[in-house]
Structures are given as structure tokens and as C-alpha cells.
């Protein structure tokens, strides 16, 4: 029986309005492609998630590879600043419902320490009992050890825990530590129905 829920963050509870940021900053398609490649698909981005590089060092390293006109954008994206946070519709309501049913609700996210600056802007998190961020512990999903650490940190049992992520490889990793897992594809009703079956 499911007694605890372990949620991913970006793509499940919220998104950053990156396209809106590009429009507001006058960043055209060509420069947006440079930023996607050199920021979001960079080694530095992955290192940030692991807590292996500071914001300033990541920015300095990336800016060597991009035109000077994009340096400000690199800083904003790396620091997770100046982009609107878009809550995923229905997730705060679902979190509230699950909390009312007596479930433990926790966060397990691959993200940088910038999370600690923007977490209050994610409405669903007000219902959560705890959070574990990859950059704080030097581990990233899908490493099974981060799931085991989350269980130890929160005092929960894998067999009583459901993990929700929008990345299939992360959900698959949760299965290997004994959790149930759900791949979230923007369908809150499907997630709710899946949880109801597990809570029955």
C-alpha cells in the first residue's frame, strides 16, 4: 500500500517559462538555440545538478563559448533567475488532496542549489514534508543511491513509496530500489487514478 509520495520537480510540479524569457529579452531563434546547446545541454549544467560547480564558475566557463550579447542570459539561466515559474495545473490540488489523506509527500529533484532561492514560488511545495536536492548531496537520479538516501532522510520505506517523474529512466531506477513508479506526462487525472488504485 502506498503511504508516501516522492515527486520530481521540473516537469511535474512546475516549469520555467524559458520561451517567455526569450521573448522578453529579445532573444531570437538562433541565439535561443545557442543557449539551449551551451547552457541546458552543457557539462556545467550537469555538474551544477551534482553540486560540483558553483554558479559563478559555471557562468564563467559557459561564457567563453557564447557571444558576449548572451552573457547576461547565461547568468540568468544558470542562476534560475528572471524566468517566470509556471505551476503544473492541478498539481497543488493533488498534493493537498494527498496530504489530507494522510500521505507523506516529499521532493526528490535533480537541480542546483538555486532551488533554495525559488522554492517558495512553487505552490505545491507548501504541502510537502521534506525535500532532497541533488546538488546538496552530490548524487543525481537515476543513481539508486539517491533514492536510498531519500528514504533514509525521510524515514520512509521504498515498498510503501510511489515515485513520480517525467523522465522514464528516473522512474525505472525507482523500481530497482523497491518503489512503485509513475511516468508523468502532463495528465494529472491519470496520476490521480493511478494513485487511487495504489491507495485502495
Considering the domain architecture, whether residues 111 and 25 belong to the same structural domain is answered as no
Domain, as residue range, for 9:
4-15+85-199
Residue 122 sits in the same domain as residue 40 = no
This prediction's pTM: 0.94
- Whether residues 72 and 89 share a domain: the answer is no
The last residue of one of the domains, among 59, 79, 99, is 79
Whether 114 and 192 map to the same domain: the answer is yes
- SS3 annotation, 82-129: CCCEEECCCHHHHHHHHHHCCCEEEEEECCCCCHHHHHHHCHHHHHCC
The CATH number that applies at residue 137 is 3.40.50.1000
Q: How many domains does the chain have?
A: 2
Domain shared by 173 and 95, yes or no: yes
What is the model's pLDDT at position 199?
Answer: 80
DSSP element (H, E) containing 77: helix 71-79
pLDDT tens sequence across 86-119: 999 999 999 999 999 999 999 999 999 999 999 9
73 and 92 fall within a common domain: no
Question: Is the same domain home to 99 and 147?
Answer: yes
- pLDDT tens for 10-48 read 999 999 999 999 999 999 999 999 999 999 999 999 999
Q: How many CA atoms lie within 13 A of 169 on its CB side?
A: 5
Amino acid at each position: 500500500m502506498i503511504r508516501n509520495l516522492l515527486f520530481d520537480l521540473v516537469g511535474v510540479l512546475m516549469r520555467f517559462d524559458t520561451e517567455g524569457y526569450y521573448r522578453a529579452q529579445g532573444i531570437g531563434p538562433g541565439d535561443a538555440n545557442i543557449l539551449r546547446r551551451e547552457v541546458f545541454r552543457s557539462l556545467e549544467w550537469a555538474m551544477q545538478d551534482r553540486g560540483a560547480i558553483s554558479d559563478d564558475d559555471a557562468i564563467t566557463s559557459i561564457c567563453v563559448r557564447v557571444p558576449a550579447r548572451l552573457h547576461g542570459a547565461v547568468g540568468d539561466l544558470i542562476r534560475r533567475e528572471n524566468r517566470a515559474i509556471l505551476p503544473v495545473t492541478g498539481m497543488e490540488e493533488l498534493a493537498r488532496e494527498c496530504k489530507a489523506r494522510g500521505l507523506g509527500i516529499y521532493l526528490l529533484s535533480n537541480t542546483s542549489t538555486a532551488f533554495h532561492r525559488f522554492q517558495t514560488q512553487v505552490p505545491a511545495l507548501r504541502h510537502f514534508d521534506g525535500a532532497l536536492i541533488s546538488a546538496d548531496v552530490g548524487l543525481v537520479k537515476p543513481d539508486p543511491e539517491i533514492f536510498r538516501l531519500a528514504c533514509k532522510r525521510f524515514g520512509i520505506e521504498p515498498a510503501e513509496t510511489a515515485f513520480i517523474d517525467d523522465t522514464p529512466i528516473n522512474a525505472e531506477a525507482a523500481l530497482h530500489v523497491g518503489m512503485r513508479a509513475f511516468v508523468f506526462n502532463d495528465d494529472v487525472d491519470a496520476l490521480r487514478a493511478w494513485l487511487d488504485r495504489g491507495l485502495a
